[in-house]
Structure 1
Amino acid sequence: MPARPLAQPPAGSPAVVLFIAPCFEAQGNQSVIEPQTYLYYIQLKQSQPSQGVWLPYDANAEKTLEEDFHRLWNTKFLDNLWIDVSDYKFPNGTIGKIVTYNLEERQRVKIVDYLGSKKIETSKIDEKLKEADAQIRLDTFIDPGLVRKVQGIVLDMMKEKGFQFASVTPEIKEISGGPKLVHLTFHMDEGPKVKIRKLDFVGNKAMSDGTLKRQLKDNKERPGFEDAVHLWDWIAGALGDRGTFQETKFDEDAEKIMSFYRDHGYVKANVGVPQLKVLQDTEDKKTRWIELRIPVNEGERYKVSDFEIAGNTVVKSEFLKPLFKTSVGEYYSEKKVRKGIEKAREIYGTGGYFEFTGFPEYKFSDDPVQNAPEAPAALKPVDGDGHDVKASAEPTVHVTMRMKEGEQFFVNRITFVGNTTTHDNVIRREMRLVEGAPFNTEALKYSVKRLNQLGYFKALEGKPGEVDVQKTPDIPNHVDVKLKLEEQNRNQLTFGAGV
C-alpha cells in the first residue's frame, strides 16, 4: 500500500485512481521480465497528488482496466493474472482506488534433456526437431503446445526404431537460480521392440504373397533359419534391422503395393489398416514377436478403352501421345504414364515451361451411370433358373492425360558463388543456358554436366542450394539461376565420366 498522501482531493469528489502497480507476490516478489515492461502495457493512469492532478475512477477507468487485462494476457508472458481494486479513504471522506496487477509469469526453460533410451541419440533428436521447426530453446517460456509436439516427434522416432509400445513422458521441475526456472525432461520408455515373425496378405488373389512382399521396403518379416531360402537372407536379417515393424513407414509400404497393382492394371487397388497379432515376448522382454496381416482389395483389372491428351496448347497431341506408350486394348500401366509425364516434362522444359505437370483422369466402364434408367425386365439376360445374369464384359478404363502447361519463363540472370579462383567467363563458356532466352531446364542439366567434367569444382550432385532457381522479383515470367560452386585442388588429378 502506498504511503499516506500529503494532499487529498476536494471533499465530495468522486473516487479517484490513487495508485497502480504490478505485483509478483505469487512468485516470491521476483520477476523474470523487467516490471517496467509490464507498465508499458498498463494504460490506466494514476493521480498525481503533489501536482494537484486527480484522475477519476469511473466507467472509463474500469473500461481501461479491462483492456489492460487483455493487453497483459496477450503478451503470453503470464500463467496467471488477476487485478485487485481496494479502497483508501482520505480524511475528508473521498475514496482513492488502489489498483494491483497480480502477475504470475510463465516458467522458463533452463535445461532440456532426453532420458531412457540408448537407441535414440540426443543429437538425432535435435536434428529431427530442427527439421520440424520444433526446437525448445533455452531461456524461453514453456509452451505446452510445443512440448506436446516434441513429445510426438520423439515418440515417432522410437516407433521408427521398432518400439511400437514406447512412451514419452515430459516432466517439468522447478530449479534454483532465478524465478520460474525449470528443468524439462522427456522420459523415454522403449517397451519391447516389435519384430515381424510372420507376414500375411489377406484378400489378394491375382498377386501372390511372395510377389507383394518383394514390394515392401521397410516392413519385412524376419524368418527363422528354417524358413530362410538363402543362408545370406537369414544372416542379414539376424545381424541387421530387418523384421522390425515400423508403423510410421507403413503408409509408404502400402503406397508401393498399390503402385505395383496400378502398374498391372488394378487401378482401384487399395491396402487396408494392418492388423497385429502378438505371438510371444522374449524372456528378457526386450522383443515382442508379432504376426502382421495386411488386408488388400485388388479390385478389377482394367484394359485401356481410349487414351487421349487434353489441356495442351503448346505441344500437339500427336507428339505427346507416343511418349506414354499406351495402346488401346492393353492393360493399363501407371508406370508407363509416369515415364510419359517425365518425357513430356523434358520437352516442355526445353521451351521454358518448367512448371509443367500432368496427371491422368479415369472413366471406368463399370462405374454406375448417374440417373440412367434401368433396363426393362424383359430385356435383362437371365440364366436357366430365371435369375439375372450380370454382363461379363472385361472392365475398361478411358484415360485422359490432363496437361497443366503453365507459363513460359525466360532467364533473367545467371550468377555463380564460391568460384574464388576461377573467373566467371570461364564458367560461362561451359553454360548452355543463356540469359534472355527461354529457361531451358535440359540445357541447365547439360551445363551442370559440363561443369562437373571440367574438374575445377567439386561435383554438383543435386544437393539443396547447389543449383538455385528463383522467380525474378518484379519481372514477370523470368527466373534467376544461381550456381553454388566449391573450388577443388587443381594439383589433384580427377578421372571420371558422365555427370
Structure 2
Amino acid sequence: MTGKITLLLIFILCVYGAKAQVADTTQQYDIFYSSPKTYELAGVRAVGGGENYDEDYLAQMAGLSIGMAVQIPGETITRAIKRLYGHGIFSDVSIAIDKIEGDKVYLALYIKERHKLSKINYVGLKKAEENKIKEKMNLLPGAQVTDLMKSNLKMQIEKYLKEKGYYNTNIRIIQRDDPDHSNFVILDAIVEKHNKIKIDEIIITGNKLMKDGRLKGAMKKTKEKSLRNFFKSANYIEKNYDEDKFLLVDKYNEKGFRDAVILSDSVVQISPKRVKIYIDVQEGNKYYFNNITWVGNTIYGSDVLSDVLNIKKGDVYNSKYLEERMTSDDDAVSNLYQNNGYLFSRLVPVETISGEDSINLEVRVVEGPQATINKVIIKGNNRTHEHVIRRELYVYPGELFSREDIIRSARELANMGHFDPEQIKPDLANVNAEAGTADVVFGLVEKANDKIELSGGWGAGMIIGSVGLTFTNFSIRNIFNWDSYRPLPQGDGQTFSLKAQTNGKYYTSFSLSFREPWLGGRKPNSLSVSLYFSRQTGYSSSYRNSYYMSNTSQMYDSRQLMLTYGLSVGLGRRINWPDNWFTMYNEISFQRYQLKNWPYYIFSDGNSNNLSIATVIKRSSIDNPLFTRMGSEFTFSLTLTPPYSLFSNRHFEAEKDQVKYRWIEYHKWKFSGKIFMPLTRSEKRPLVLYASAQYGYLGYYDKNKKSPFEGFEMGGDGMSGYSLYGREYVGLRGYENGSLTNAGSSFIAPKSSDASLYSKFTMELRYPISLAQSATIYALGFLEAGNSWYELKDFEPFNLYRSAGVGLRVFLPMFGLLGIDWGYGFDDVPGRSGAGGSQFHFVLGQEF
C-alpha cells in the first residue's frame, strides 16, 4: 500500500510539474485524489528524451492502448510508470495530462533515457589483467549504464585482484560524457593495486603426532616466506587458502587420522604487506583397517575383489588410497567391473568404528546388468577420413562396454598425430540403464601436423641449408582427385616426405619416403619405402694443410668424390604377444658407396655395397607423443648382412681393401628403454620424470672384414650437417659433437673408424609451459652419462662421461620439434681439450 501511495504522489507531482511546463499551451485541470474520474484514452504523446522512440511502441511498453478506460488518479497510471521503469532503459519517467476533451484524455510521457556505454578505460592494470576483467564483465558498447553496472565492475576488479594476491587496492569508477557521441558516457576504472600481501608465517597448534613441516607441505599454494619455499610464491590468496585447508585435513586422513578437523583458523594482518595465519587442529585417534567384507558381489568372489583393493587388515587407514583403489586407479575395483561390461555397477563403502582405533569396512556392491555399446560416434574430423579413425579404435557397436578399451582407443588416436591429444576426451551419450546400452563419443580437434623444414647450419667450415616437406595425412589414392587437394590429397593417414640438403659444390643430398600404415586397408600392416642419394667432394690439399684460407672457392676438390645411393623397403605389423602393445617391423635395405680419389676412407677408389635385413620389436604404451605423461617404450633391433666371409675361402687379411669391402658385412644390435612417470597429479601442469637407457653394438663375422660403416659417433646434439659415410649419431649433451667417439677405448682407434659399442643413460624432469594446439612447449632439466668404445673387450659399464643441464622444447605443427639445451660436461676427454664444459646444443626434429 505504501508503494502505491508513493507512486501516486510521484504522479501528482509530475502532473503539476507538467502543468507548469506547458502552462502556456494547455489548460489547467483540477485533479482530486478523493474523487477520481474515468476517461477514454484518446492519445499518447512523447515529450523530452522519449521523442527518440516511436510513440505507439512507448505506449505498448507502458501497457497503454488507445480506447482503453483510464481512471485519473488511478492504478492504470501507476502501473504504466512502473512498467516503463522496469525496462531499465530510462532514468526518469513521468506521465502528465496533455489535454482533456469531454470524456477523452490525452497523456504526455516525459522520459529521460539512461546513458549508454561508449567504452571503459582501465588505468593501473596490465593488458592481460584488463583482458581477464573484460571477459568476466562482457560489457559491450551501447549497453545502458546503471549504478548496478558500475558497482559490478568495481566488484569484479576487486575480486580478480584478490585472486592474484592484491588486497590493499583502491578502485574508483568515474563516469564522464563522451564528447563525440550524444547520450554516451565513458567509464574510467582507476585502480591502485599497491603491493601483494605475503604470508609471513603459518602457525599450527594442536598437532602432536604430525609435524608442522608435513602439514605445511600438504598445502600446495599457501606457503610462508622462508628459504625452504624460496622458489615458491608466498602470496596470500583467500581462495587458495580455503582449498589448502581441505588438503591439510586430507593429509591427516592419509595417515590414519580419520577424525582430524580444523577447530579454528584466522588470518591476521601484521603490516600493510604481511599476514600471519593461525590454524588450530584436533588430530583425534589414529585408525587402522580391521575387517573388510563384500556384500552383493556375484560376478567376482570376495577374495578376488580384496586382492584388487590391495588393503589388508592392520593397514593404516587412508581415505585417499581407499578412494583410489575403489574408483580412480586404472586397475581399481570399479574398473574390474566396467572393463567387463558392468557400466552401471556401483561400490558403496560403509565404515564403522570398532573399538578406539579400528575401522570395519563393508563394501556394498551393486553390479547391475551388463551394458553393450550402441553406437560409436566420431566428431570433429574435418580432414581425416572416418574409416582411418575407426580402424584405430578398440570399441565397436554391439560389443560389451569396456572402459579399458575406450582409454586405449583414445591413446591410439592421440598417437596418430592428426588430432590435438590434449582435447581427445571420450564421453558417453544416450546411456539407457533399462536397455543396457550406451553410445561412445570421440570428440576430436584436428591439428595441422604437416611439416615444413627450412634450416641452416654450420658444418665443415661452411653453411649448410636444407628444405624438407612432410605430409603426415597423405592420400595416394586421391592423387588424381583434384577436389581432395588441400593443398595435397589428404585424409588416409599416409606419410609422404621429401628432403634436400646442400651447401653448394661440397655436399648435396636428396631423400624421399612413403609410409602406408594399413596396407590393403584391412589389417594394421604397414609398408614403408625410402630412397636417398648424396654427393660430396673432398677438401683440397692446400686447405687441409692450412689453418686459414681467404679464398673459400679453393676449399674443396671436385676430383675427390663420394656418391651414396640407398633404397629400403619395410613391412610392419602389430602383434598380440606378449600383449597387444607390441609391433614388429622388418626391413630390407641396400646402400651403394662409389669412391673416386677419396682420401677419408680405407680405400680411395672403388665401390662398397651394403645389403642388410633389419628386425625391430617395439612395445609402446605412451599416452601422448608430444608431451608424454605416462607409459613406456622399449625397442630392440637387429640388423645384419649376409655373412659373406663364412661362404668364402678367402683370407681377407691379405686381400686388397677394394675387394675386402666390396660387400661389407656386420651384425648390429640396439636396445632402447624409456619410462615416463608423472610426479604430480595435475593433468594440466604435470611434472614428469623421464628416464632412458640405450645400448648399441656393431659386431662382425670376421675380424679382418670389420665394417667401416654403420658405427656410432657420440657426443653433442646427435645431429650432423653432413655425413662422410653411413654412421649413426648418438647425442650426449655437455660435450662437442663426436668428441666421445671411442673415448673409452684403451688404444687409439683407426682415424676413419667409428665406435662399435656405446651406452647412454638419461634422466629428465619435464614441466609443460603450454599444451595448446598451436604450440606444445615444455622446459626440462637433465642428467646424462654415456661413453663409446672401439672394441667389445674395452667395454667398461661404469666408465661414463657425465653431464647436466637445462633445456626447452617447442613443438610447432608446421615445423615439428625445435629445442635448445645448455649442458655442462663434467669430465675431461683425452686428446680433446675443451670438448666438455659449457656447451649449447640445438634440436631440430629429433630427441636425444
TM-score (norm. length: structure 2): 0.44
1:21 to 45, 50, 65: 45
Question: Partner of 1:266: helix, strand, or coil?
Answer: coil
Whether the 8 Å CA contact 1:164–1:247 is kept in 2: the answer is no
* CA spacing shift, 1:413–1:330, aligned 2, 3 Å: closer
The answer (yes or no) to whether the contact 1:345–1:354 under 8 Å persists in 2 is no
CA distance in 2, matches of 1:181, 1:190: 29
CA separation of 1:332 and 1:148: change in aligned 2, threshold 3 A: farther
Point out the structure with the larger strand share: 2
Check 1:246–1:329 CA distance in 2 against 1; reply closer, same or farther (3 A cut): same
Aligned residue for 1:121, secondary structure, equals: helix
Judged with a 3 Å threshold, the aligned counterparts in structure 2 of structure 1 residues 357 and 199 are, in CA distance, closer, same or farther, namely: farther
1:423 pairs, out of 370, 374, 385, with 385
State yes or no: 1:336 paired with 2:338.
no
Counterpart Cα distance in 2 of 1:405 and 1:107: 63
1:113 aligns with 2:98: no
Q: What is the SS of the residue equivalent to 1:307?
A: strand
DSSP 3-state at the match of 1:213: helix
Pick the aligned partner of 2:163 from 156, 160, 165.
Answer: 160
Root-mean-square deviation (CA, aligned residues, Å) is 4.0
Structure number with greater Rg is 2
Whether 1:481 aligns to 2:437 is: no
Q: CA deviation at 1:344?
A: 3.0
- Asked if the contact 2:428–2:438 (Cα under 8 Å) also holds between the matched residues in 1, the reply is no
Could you tell me which amino acid in structure 1 is paired with residue 338 of structure 2? G
Q: 1:116·1:189 contact (CA, 8 Å) conserved in 2? A: yes
- Give the letter aligned to residue 254 of structure 1: K
Please tell me whether residue 470 in structure 1 is matched to residue 429 in structure 2.
yes
Q: Secondary structure at the match of 1:445?
A: helix
CA distance, structure 2, for counterparts of residue 257 and residue 245 of structure 1: 16
Match of 1:399 among 352, 361, 367: 361
Change (3 A) 1:350 1:18: same
Whether the aligned pair in 2 keeps the contact of 1:196 and 1:222 (CA below 8 Å) is: yes
Match of 1:346 among 314, 327, 335: 335
Secondary structure of 2:373 counterpart? strand
List aligned pairs for 1:125-164, cutoff 5 A: 125-127=133-135, 129=136, 134-142=137-145, 147-164=150-167
Q: Deviations over 1:430-463 (max 9, x none)?
A: 11111233443221111122223334x14523x3
TM-score, with structure 1 as normaliser: 0.71
Question: For residues 322-380 of structure 1, what are the alpha-carbon distances to aligned partners after superposition, in whole Å with 9 as ceiling and x for unaligned?
Answer: 43333334331112212122213423432455576656444345xxxxxxxxxxxxxxx
Find 1:275's aligned residue among 244, 266, 272.
266
Percent of pairs with identical residues: 20
Measured in 2, the distance between the counterparts of 1:198 and 1:471 equals 52
In structure 2, stretches of 5+ residues that fail to align are 1-21, 27-36, 451-471, 473-495, 498-512, 516-617, 624-848
- Structure 1 residues 296 and 146, CA gap change in structure 2 (3 angstroms): farther
TM-fit CA distance, 1:483: 3.2
Taking a change above 3 Å as real, the CA distance of residues 56 and 210 of structure 1, as seen in their structure-2 partners, is: closer
Rounded to whole Å, the distance in 1 between the matches of 2:108 and 2:209 is 77
What is the match of residue 296 of structure 1?
A: 281
Instruction: Please list, as runs of the form range in 1=range in 2, the aligned pairs for 1:188-203 lying within 5 A after superposition.
Output: 188-203=191-206
- What does the per-residue CA deviation read over 1:158-183, in whole Å, with 9 as the maximum and x for residues that have no partner? 12322222344434334345554232
Q: Is the 8 A contact 1:264 1:331 kept in 2?
A: yes
Tell me, in whole angstroms, the C-alpha distance in 1 between the residues paired with 2:92 and 2:318. 62
- 1:75 equivalent among 64, 87, 102: 87
Matched, 1:450 2:425: no
Of Structure 1 and Structure 2, the greater helix share is in 1
Partner of 2:717: none
| Cα gap change, 1:301 to 1:422, in 2 (>3 Å) | same
Aligned to 2:237: 246
**Does the 8 Å contact 2:373/2:438 carry over to 1?**
yes
Cα distance in 2 for partners of 1:252, 1:208 equals 20
Higher RCO structure, 1 or 2 (CA under 8 Å, sep 6+): 1
Cα displacement string for residues 51-104 of structure 1 (whole angstroms, at most 9, x for unaligned residues)? xxxx65459x9665555445444433334433334653x4xxx25322233333
Q: Does 1:434 align with 2:396?
A: yes
State yes or no: 1:100 paired with 2:91: no
2:188 equivalent in structure 1: 185
SS of 1:38's equivalent in the other structure is helix
Q: Structure 1 counterpart of 2:421, which letter?
A: L
Q: CA deviation at 1:427?
A: 1.8
Of 38, 46, 52, 2:58 maps to: 38
How far apart, CA to CA, are the structure 2 residues paired with 1:34 and 1:408?
65
**Offset, 1:262:** 0.5
Distance, in Å, in 2 between the alignment partners of 1:352 and 1:261 is: 36
Q: Partner of 1:390 in structure 2?
A: none
**Pair 1:467–1:58, CA change in 2 (3 A):** same
Shift of 1:270: 2.3
Distance 2:243 2:441 in 1: 34
Structure 1 contact 466–485 (Cα < 8 Å) conserved = no
